[in-house]
Amino acid sequence: MLELVLILGDQLSPVLPALRDAEPSRTRILMAEVAGEVSYAPHHAKKLAFIFSAMRHRAQSLSDQGFAVDYITLDDPNNSGTLSGELERALNRHGQTALRITEPGEWRVKAEIETWARASEADLTWIEDDRFLCSKAHFRRWAQGRKSLRMEHFYRIMRRRHSLLMEADEPAGGRWNFDPENREPLPPPLARSPIPKPMQFRPDVETQAVIDLVRHSCPDAFGDLDPFWFAVTPAQARRAFSHFLRKSLPLFGDHQDAMASGEDFIYHAVISIYLNAGLLDPLACCRAAEDAWRDGSAPLNAVEGFIRQILGWREFIRGIYWLAMPDYAGSNALEADLPLPDFYWSGETGMRCVAETVAGIRRNAYAHHIQRLMVTGNFALLAGLEPKAVCDWYLGVFADAYEWVELPNTLGMALHGDGGLFASKPYAASGRYIHRMSDYCQGCRYDSADATGETACPFNYLYWDFIARHRQRFEKHPRMAMIYRNLSRQKPERVQRMRELAAKARADLDAL
């Protein structure tokens, strides 16, 4: 019997579980660019172009290997617009076939296909996605019975399991985590060497065709489509990663939390887009980084920080997603309800940190983790923006965003919307943090040292309003006790002034 294998846009790995041991003579591949996957979130134009181009290059690679590939383009007049519709059409074309699909990364996709399969009585087999380094079953067993779910505890188990940065049974350098060494701001421009850019690739004929398709079919898509520079094949992605290892990894550790005007990438690898689509293997990346430390070309704090993001955080977040869904997506523990301000799209705000971050996102469909957490995420937390609107924005504007990785990072880490399922406290911060870690405050309309005056930084008075607004919830939290003592020591009229400024700002956020 013919087997039909559906390959999704984030399943572009050279070795996919559903294709393992597949024989071209009895296997047909289905890949489809469908409107439903374009419209479920406000996707960045570059994200759409990346996914479609990488899909088309993967389809060509499979065809070169002898597989018959049904590839449905977005502008195909017969395109049904949904994955389930394309599965139905494929079965009608090819008759009775067994359907094999590697488990999707997103709950909604699996639910859609399962609903269709039951209704159509399709012969569907799910294949576990073993491209991740911790299975869903292993994570459930680890989480079972724990009073708290903390990445650091999980990370140590993963280090031991995969023998990464280990010396016998102890962590290399005598410590599991070198994060305290990774919080240095960048020196001023004249005092630092030029920061290397990620490797960029010129679009080939197929990619240019996709760019033209997106421009024509998705004219209202957010962000800048040009210049398009992402890798779209595993070979290109490996070159981009090797470039990072040579050029940026040595300084990545010290400055991984730094932000600077005009510097969209600092020393970050910018490979999450490739990892999450399947163009890079996560374990291979971790081992290559470890080799860089062992051969002396990168320091331990940089390598440990890099590996922790992949082996620790990425795997942990995926585990949380599948552990808590589907109810997790509706969480709103802090009862936040304000609409998303327009400046999340336009970048038109006097807050220079937000304006610079959104401008970079518009250009690149990318921002590094501190910009995501401590600028756009922190503002959303302090202002009380409605979680679903914020999560939809994050899901759409970043090229590396799929719900399994975006939702826990945004809802749980940035917004504390899950009530602290895995984050020990809200990641709330005033303008002081942004001033310390960036140069954004220079030339800003607002004064990062002021919380009550005419030029008071919105992050300052929104921070103290957030703390006061949620006093009953957090006052007895052991990690927030000092914050509430500081609040109590402030003069009542000062607190009242900050709360008045916050109320005015929250009533018209786009005026900021």
255 and 290 assigned to the same domain: yes
pLDDT exceeds cutoff 90 at 188: no
Final residue in a domain of this structure, among 67, 100, 127: 127
**Residue-range definition of the domain harbouring residue 364:** 343-511
pLDDT in tens, 411-423: 999 999 999 999 9
Give the H/E segment covering residue 32: strand 27-32
pLDDT exceeds cutoff 80 at 96: no
pLDDT band, very low/low/confident/very high, at 1 (cuts 50, 70, 90): confident
CA 240 to chain centre: 18
Q: In what order do the strands lie in the sheet with 68-72?
A: 68-72, 27-32, 3-6, 98-102, 123-127
pLDDT exceeds cutoff 90 at 189: no
433 and 468 assigned to the same domain: yes
Final residue in a domain of this structure, among 127, 147, 182: 127
Closest alpha carbon to 387 in 335, 432, 347: 335
Structure tokens at 399: 């090229």
Q: Is residue 335 assigned to a domain?
A: no
Q: Is residue 355 assigned to a domain?
A: yes
pLDDT in tens, 415-455: 999 999 999 899 999 999 999 999 999 999 999 999 999 99
Angstrom distance (rounded) from CA 15 to CA 307: 22
Q: Is residue 337 assigned to a domain?
A: no
Angstrom distance (rounded) from CA 116 to CA 87: 9
Q: Is residue 336 assigned to a domain?
A: no
| Confidence (pLDDT) at 159 | 97
Angstrom distance (rounded) from CA 139 to CA 408: 15
Structural domains of the chain, count:
3
Residue 23 CB: number of other CB atoms within 10 A? 9
pLDDT exceeds cutoff 90 at 193: no
Q: Is residue 338 assigned to a domain?
A: no
CA 334 to chain centre: 22
CA 128 to chain centre: 22
Which domain CATH number covers 149? 1.25.40.80
214 and 166 assigned to the same domain: yes
DSSP-assigned beta bridge partners for residue 71: 31
Percent of the chain having pLDDT more than 70?
100
286 and 264 assigned to the same domain: yes
| Confidence (pLDDT) at 183 | 86
pLDDT band, very low/low/confident/very high, at 182 (cuts 50, 70, 90): confident
Q: Is residue 73 assigned to a domain?
A: yes
406 and 441 assigned to the same domain: yes
Residue 419 CB: number of other CB atoms within 10 A? 12
Final residue in a domain of this structure, among 308, 330, 352: 330
Closest alpha carbon to 251 in 195, 197, 174, 307: 195
Residue pair 408/391 in contact (Cβ under 8 Å)? The answer is: no
154 and 295 assigned to the same domain: yes
pLDDT in tens, 17-75: 999 989 999 999 999 999 999 999 999 999 999 999 999 999 999 999 999 999 999 99
320 and 391 assigned to the same domain: no
468 and 405 assigned to the same domain: yes
Residue 205 CB: number of other CB atoms within 10 A? 6
Average pLDDT over residues 302-328: 97
160 and 309 assigned to the same domain: yes
Q: Is residue 356 assigned to a domain?
A: yes
395 and 498 assigned to the same domain: yes
Which domain CATH number covers 376? 1.10.579.10
Q: For the chain, first and last CA: distance in Å?
A: 63
Residue pair 425/474 in contact (Cβ under 8 Å)? The answer is: yes
Angstrom distance (rounded) from CA 461 to CA 448: 10
Angstrom distance (rounded) from CA 400 to CA 278: 11
Average pLDDT over residues 166-185: 92
β-bridge pairing 170-171 and 166-167: antiparallel
Average pLDDT over residues 399-414: 98
pLDDT exceeds cutoff 90 at 201: yes
Which domain CATH number covers 77? 3.40.50.620
365 and 230 assigned to the same domain: no
Residue pair 415/334 in contact (Cβ under 8 Å)? The answer is: yes
DSSP-assigned beta bridge partners for residue 456: 447
Burial class (CB in 10 A: 0-12, 13-18, 19+), 250: middle
In this structure, what is the dihedral angle of CA atoms 393, 398, 399, 400, given to the nearest 10 degrees? -100
141 and 289 assigned to the same domain: yes
Q: Is residue 358 assigned to a domain?
A: yes
pLDDT band, very low/low/confident/very high, at 2 (cuts 50, 70, 90): confident
pLDDT exceeds cutoff 90 at 191: no
pLDDT exceeds cutoff 80 at 124: yes
